Chain A
Amino acid sequence: MLRVERLSKSYPTPQGPIPVLRGVDFTLDAGASLALTGESGSGKSTLIHLVGALDDADSGEVVLDGVALTRLPEKARAAMRRDKIGVVFQQFNLIPSLTVAENLGFQARLAGRYDPPWQQELTERLGLAALGARYPEELSGGQQQRVAIGRALAVRPKLLLADEPTGNLDEATGDNVMSLALDLVAATGCAFLMATHSERLASRLRRRVRLESGFLAQ
């Protein structure tokens, strides 16, 4: 499903490029989940961005569902993001001008895959049924993150990416959100890659890897 090969990435700075990833390899099958840990600044977000077709790698390859992401032009990459990838960020990143229901269905509609029964099911399982007409600013952090997860899964992605999804939430809320996410991942059968600081969260996923000085350590 997802294959990452010798992926490397550095950021240009006035003092010269800083290498962040120096050659990362891993694979992830449909239905599998992988926790990505590492110290702050180790490059977890960078890796998520590369896998999510959000940024360009310096070298190496990301192959998702048989498509090599790094060689795609902008338009095709956008289509990959839209159709095959769901992303959940630490800051939720909901669209403030749209209601909860609209946010939930946004990516699915973009992809032309809006599926009312599935949408309905997600809404209910995420406990958002009563909140559909509200706007993001009228929700708590946990509620917002549930909407973000729903939005990512509404499109039935092949791959769900999450970058510190519970980083802005308290422990209990975070656990709750995490459980919901894992249930839904299991229900859709997508691959799940999550970056996190928390060993406790990481332990709830099937596999875990650690990023250290630009390489993955099992």
Chain B
Amino acid sequence: MKFPGAMKFPGAMKETLWTFAALASHWRRRPGNFGMLLLGLAMATALWSGVQALNAQARNSYDAATAAISGGGARTLGSSRGGLFDQDLFVKLRRAGFNVSPVLEGSVRIGEENVRIIGVEPLSLPRRSPIAHLRSRADLIEDFFSGPGRGFASPETLRRLNLAEGAQPLTNRGRQLPPLAALAEAPPGAIVVDIGVAQHLLDRHEKLSRLILADDETLDEARLKSIAGDALRLVAANEESELDRLTDSFHLNLTAFGFLAFLVGLFIVHAAYGLAFEQRLPTLRTLRALGVAPMHLVAAMAWEIAVLTLAAGGAGVIGGYALARALLPDVARSLESLYGAQISENLALDARWWFSGLAMAGAGAVLAAASGLLKTLRLPPLSVSRPIAWRAEHHRYLRRQAALAVLALVAAACAYGFGKGLASGFAVIGLALLAAALFLPVGLAGALALGEHVARRPLARWFFADGRQEISGLSLALMALLIALAANIGVGGMVEGFRQTFGRWLDARLVAEVYFEAATPADAQDIEAWARKQSDISAILPVWRAKTRIGAWPVDVFGMTPHETYTAHFPLLDAEPNMWTDLRDQDAVLVSEQLARRLGLGVGAMIDIPTSHEDWRARVVGVFPDYGNPKGQLRIDHEKLKRYFDDASGIHYSLRAAPGATPRVIEDMQQRFDGKIARIIDQSELKALSTEVFERTFAVTTALNTLTLIVSGVALFASLLTLSEMRRARIAPVWALGATRRQLAGLEMIRVLAFAAGAAVFATPLGLFMTWCLVAIVNVAAFGWRLPFHMFPAQWLVVLLIALCAAFFAALVPLVRLARSAPTELLRVFSNER
């Protein structure tokens, strides 16, 4: 008895292999086309996986920061209001038998770098904690507890601080760190010290930031309440960390731009593969006629796609790694300055990332090749040698594009109408871009039809008529260009609008000439007393700070004293008429825009604010813009801050100095108070710092945008290069009838430039719409602030020029080749079978 399947499989395999070989031979003849296919897929993958690498790196660093102490997955107790709580509570809990380990965290400045100080008690730390590894440095463990103690930092952190093991740097509060030692497990950007040392370094005596619960501890909430009251809050092991939540929108933003770049890259792949499919159609037909089943053809093509994915995807993932490495410093700096997050600059990615990059490349390749595969399945075995009916096809194509565009537009409207928040904002932008891209060929065809109608001279008529034929071949590249240009206008408009708003806002917000931070509240008193007697100093304004939590959001509370500095300048979005007097005399607060949106509060609303004692009920008398701040902010009267918040910082001040006296005042203070001043900075320097933070935040977006534009330029180049062969068949008859090659090359160039200009013209309103979406939907959802909408016509001109340049250079090589091509090459058109 024969088992048919057993013999069939190798035969089928062989057939597929031969078919594969026949199909693959095509690439040998057209290495350029193959290169473009690889390049497109590699670039798309690189941009996508690069962005994913940045996100993964940042998230790993956040996790590392929390897990480094607790070992991950541990429950902790934190202050209900945020900020710190008294060590007393810990002592009471320990006495009551709770198995908890204390932690104090805070940051200090060493030189120009921010460093996180983490104070722990190693003996009570859960065994899983990587920090517990400091036991591996048995040589030092004694020192950790006794004498000056030890500070553990990762080798990377030591390098960044430019310090060697054993160094004892001073903080800018004048406190000396214990001798440093390297410990690979220490979290990035942090120094781990004994809890007592941390309290001294941070000047937080008898204070803690959280308690880690031992794994086996079953928490009796009732007993906890009876000992600690409402002061402590249980933070579940899987609760999203504050950093995760704050940085979410930043990462979503990155992902969105990475995806946009990926899509633009896929346009290249789709264009290159589509062309290869057309060119291989005769081969496919022949294979079909020779009896190869459609399934085998598709299987062979699938093989081809798999090989492509491995080659181009692999190269792309490596490129993504390189890209991430290049952008990481900017991203790390911007996350640090915005959110205080420490990101390790040693890019470490796991296998999952590599595989997901390859999977994305594969998905992209399949998507780009899908229409070719489907057509192959339906390929009739009999070759129909009718000339390609391009007109009928052209109209079908235009109708389909228009229908899809309308569909995308309807979807965009739905996303806007029914969706909410960030995802809906991005969906509206994406769908609108798609709709415009789909409609672009229809618009261009209309313009060309109009031109044909008006043109009188024969070459001009040919120019327009033939252009319509070229559209379908170029449309994918033009769509990619359109998307890239629109994204540039959209993001450029948003960034520029933000820059202007931010600049004006900063001027109004930073009115005081000098800002300083005393080392301790006692030092601050001394400085204050001295400053009041100086003739150069017209006012000293305490700007003490405290922390609280409202509706699960961390909120900073700032105090302010009634002064012209605020009443005449402080920027406000909305306010009650007697706001400044009410703020001083009544239970009243100013709320930052972000917080107001998050809590749904407006002027006149009441708000309950957790304080050191009981909740304080106050009326919102004003809403102020607070651009660039991820946290919510409340501004209250200085006296009330002192009354309600026992732990108010007591060290932050700003000074009003006589015009021109600022440098002298600063120098005076530095000489007189030296160690009592942790930090002093003048207005212009602070503005420069803030602006730098701002610029850095958008550096990555701008870089991704520029890369997207480059990718679309390459797409145009690839399409023109691969089309040039088809174009030759169209041009040859006109040449034979008496037009010169140069004339024809010139016309081709004008046409490409006109197409690019058309894309740019299309891109402008689209870009404006995108700016509006970013400003009115995305920014509000992501950051909580709404910017005024600005237009920048100069920018549009630049984008138009960029489009023309991209088109010019993309067209240059194929056209110079055409202008110089030997007549023989054009004559081949007449002797080759079609």
Within the assembled complex, what's the spacing in Å between the Cα atoms of A107 and B739?
9
Q: Which residues of the other chain, B, contact A102 by a CB distance below 8 angstroms?
A: 458, 461, 465
Within the assembled complex, what's the spacing in Å between the Cα atoms of A163 and B736?
13
Q: Is the CB of A55 within 8 A of B824?
A: yes
Q: Is the CB of B834 within 8 A of A74?
A: no
B734-755: contact bitstring with A at CB < 8 Å (1 yes, 0 no)?
A: 1111111111000000000000
Within the assembled complex, what's the spacing in Å between the Cα atoms of A102 and B739?
16
Neighbour of B737 across the interface among A45, A81, A135, CB < 8 A: A81
A55-B823, A56-B823, A97-B465 in contact; A79/B390 too (CB < 8 A)?
Answer: no
Q: Is the CB of A91 within 8 A of B738?
A: no
A14 CB to nearest chain B CB (Å): 15
Q: Which residues of the other chain, B, contact A94 by a CB distance below 8 angstroms?
A: 733
A85-98: contact bitstring with B at CB < 8 Å (1 yes, 0 no)?
A: 10101110111111
B91 CB to nearest chain A CB (Å): 89
- Is residue A111 within 8 Å, beta carbon to beta carbon, of the partner chain? yes
A93-B733, A110-B458 in contact; A74/B738 too (CB < 8 A)?
Answer: no
Q: Is the CB of B469 within 8 A of A96?
A: yes
Q: Is the CB of A98 within 8 A of B827?
A: no
- Is residue B389 within 8 Å, beta carbon to beta carbon, of the partner chain? yes
- Is residue A207 within 8 Å, beta carbon to beta carbon, of the partner chain? no
Within the assembled complex, what's the spacing in Å between the Cα atoms of A111 and B457?
11
Q: Which residues of the other chain, A, contact B222 by a CB distance below 8 angstroms?
A: none
Neighbour of A89 across the interface among B735, B740, B830, CB < 8 A: B830
- Is residue B4 within 8 Å, beta carbon to beta carbon, of the partner chain? no
A55-B823, A97-B462, A98-B462 in contact; A109/B457 too (CB < 8 A)?
Answer: yes
Q: Is the CB of A54 within 8 A of B823?
A: yes
Q: Which residues of the other chain, B, contact A109 by a CB distance below 8 angstroms?
A: 457-458
CB-nearest residue of chain A to B468: A97
- Is residue B732 within 8 Å, beta carbon to beta carbon, of the partner chain? yes
Q: Which residues of the other chain, A, contact B462 by a CB distance below 8 angstroms?
A: 95, 97-98, 106
A74-B742, A102-B461, A137-B391 in contact; A93/B736 too (CB < 8 A)?
Answer: yes
Q: Which residues of the other chain, A, contact B834 by a CB distance below 8 angstroms?
A: 91
Q: Which residues of the other chain, B, contact A79 by a CB distance below 8 angstroms?
A: 738
Within the assembled complex, what's the spacing in Å between the Cα atoms of A137 and B391?
8
B731 CB to nearest chain A CB (Å): 10
Within the assembled complex, what's the spacing in Å between the Cα atoms of A83 and B739?
11
CB-nearest residue of chain B to A105: B458
Within the assembled complex, what's the spacing in Å between the Cα atoms of A163 and B829?
13
Q: Is the CB of B461 within 8 A of A98?
A: yes
Size range of the chain A interface in the assembly: 35 or more
Q: Which residues of the other chain, B, contact A96 by a CB distance below 8 angstroms?
A: 387, 390-391, 469, 730
CB-nearest residue of chain A to B738: A82
A50 CB to nearest chain B CB (Å): 10
Q: Which residues of the other chain, A, contact B370 by a CB distance below 8 angstroms?
A: none
Within the assembled complex, what's the spacing in Å between the Cα atoms of A87 and B737?
8
CB-nearest residue of chain B to A106: B458
Q: Which residues of the other chain, B, contact A97 by a CB distance below 8 angstroms?
A: 390, 462, 465-466, 468-469, 730
Q: Is the CB of A81 within 8 A of B736?
A: yes
Size range of the chain B interface in the assembly: 35 or more
B708-738: contact bitstring with A at CB < 8 Å (1 yes, 0 no)?
A: 0000000000000000000000101111111
- Is residue B384 within 8 Å, beta carbon to beta carbon, of the partner chain? no
CB-nearest residue of chain A to B834: A91
Q: Is the CB of A75 within 8 A of B391?
A: no
Q: Which residues of the other chain, A, contact B469 by a CB distance below 8 angstroms?
A: 96-97
A74-B742, A97-B465 in contact; A91/B458 too (CB < 8 A)?
Answer: no
Q: Which residues of the other chain, A, contact B826 by a CB distance below 8 angstroms?
A: 54
Q: Is the CB of A137 within 8 A of B387?
A: yes
Q: Is the CB of A137 within 8 A of B390?
A: yes
Neighbour of A74 across the interface among B387, B741, B824, CB < 8 A: B741
B311-341 interface (Cβ within 8 A of A): none
A95-B462, A102-B461 in contact; A107/B824 too (CB < 8 A)?
Answer: no
B522 CB to nearest chain A CB (Å): 87
A88-125 interface (Cβ within 8 A of B): 89-91, 93-98, 102, 105-107, 109-111
Within the assembled complex, what's the spacing in Å between the Cα atoms of A95 and B824?
20
B370-405: contact bitstring with A at CB < 8 Å (1 yes, 0 no)?
A: 000000000000000001111110000000000000
CB-nearest residue of chain B to A151: B737
- Is residue B831 within 8 Å, beta carbon to beta carbon, of the partner chain? yes
- Is residue A217 within 8 Å, beta carbon to beta carbon, of the partner chain? no
B737 CB to nearest chain A CB (Å): 5
- Is residue B447 within 8 Å, beta carbon to beta carbon, of the partner chain? no
- Is residue A30 within 8 Å, beta carbon to beta carbon, of the partner chain? no
Q: Is the CB of A49 within 8 A of B737?
A: no
Q: Which residues of the other chain, A, contact B734 by a CB distance below 8 angstroms?
A: 95
Neighbour of B465 across the interface among A56, A81, A98, CB < 8 A: A98
Q: Which residues of the other chain, B, contact A138 by a CB distance below 8 angstroms?
A: 389
Q: Is the CB of A107 within 8 A of B738?
A: yes
Q: Which residues of the other chain, B, contact A137 by a CB distance below 8 angstroms?
A: 387-392
B742-770: contact bitstring with A at CB < 8 Å (1 yes, 0 no)?
A: 11000000000000000000000000000
Neighbour of A82 across the interface among B739, B741, B829, B833, CB < 8 A: B739
B758 CB to nearest chain A CB (Å): 18
Q: Which residues of the other chain, A, contact B823 by a CB distance below 8 angstroms?
A: 49, 54-56
Q: Which residues of the other chain, B, contact A135 by a CB distance below 8 angstroms?
A: 391
Within the assembled complex, what's the spacing in Å between the Cα atoms of A87 and B387?
21
A181 CB to nearest chain B CB (Å): 18
- Is residue B363 within 8 Å, beta carbon to beta carbon, of the partner chain? no
Q: Is the CB of B739 within 8 A of A95?
A: no
B455-485: contact bitstring with A at CB < 8 Å (1 yes, 0 no)?
A: 0011101100110110000000000000000
Q: Which residues of the other chain, A, contact B830 by a CB distance below 8 angstroms?
A: 45, 89-91, 93, 163
Q: Is the CB of B461 within 8 A of A83?
A: no
Q: Is the CB of A110 within 8 A of B737?
A: yes
CB-nearest residue of chain B to A93: B733
Neighbour of A55 across the interface among B387, B389, B737, B827, CB < 8 A: B827
A131 CB to nearest chain B CB (Å): 15
Among the interface residues A52, A85, A109, which one has the most CB atoms of the partner chain B within 10 A?
A109
CB-nearest residue of chain A to B452: A97
Within the assembled complex, what's the spacing in Å between the Cα atoms of A113 and B834?
31
Q: Which residues of the other chain, B, contact A82 by a CB distance below 8 angstroms?
A: 737-739
Within the assembled complex, what's the spacing in Å between the Cα atoms of A81 and B736?
7
Q: Is the CB of A54 within 8 A of B391?
A: no
- Is residue A78 within 8 Å, beta carbon to beta carbon, of the partner chain? yes
Q: Which residues of A contact B (CB under 8 A)?
A: 11, 45, 49, 52, 54-56, 74-75, 78-83, 85, 87, 89-91, 93-98, 102, 105-107, 109-111, 135-138, 151, 163
A sample of 14 more A-B contacts (CB under 8 A), given A49-B823, A74-B742, is A54-B827, A74-B740, A78-B740, A87-B736, A93-B736, A95-B730, A96-B387, A96-B390, A97-B390, A98-B462, A102-B465, A105-B458, A110-B458, A136-B387
User: Could you name 10 residue pairs across A and B whose Cβ atoms are closer than 8 Å?
Assistant: A74-B740, A74-B742, A82-B737, A90-B830, A94-B733, A95-B730, A97-B466, A102-B461, A102-B465, A137-B390
Q: Which 3 A-B pairs have the closest CB atoms?
A: A82-B738, A109-B458, A97-B465
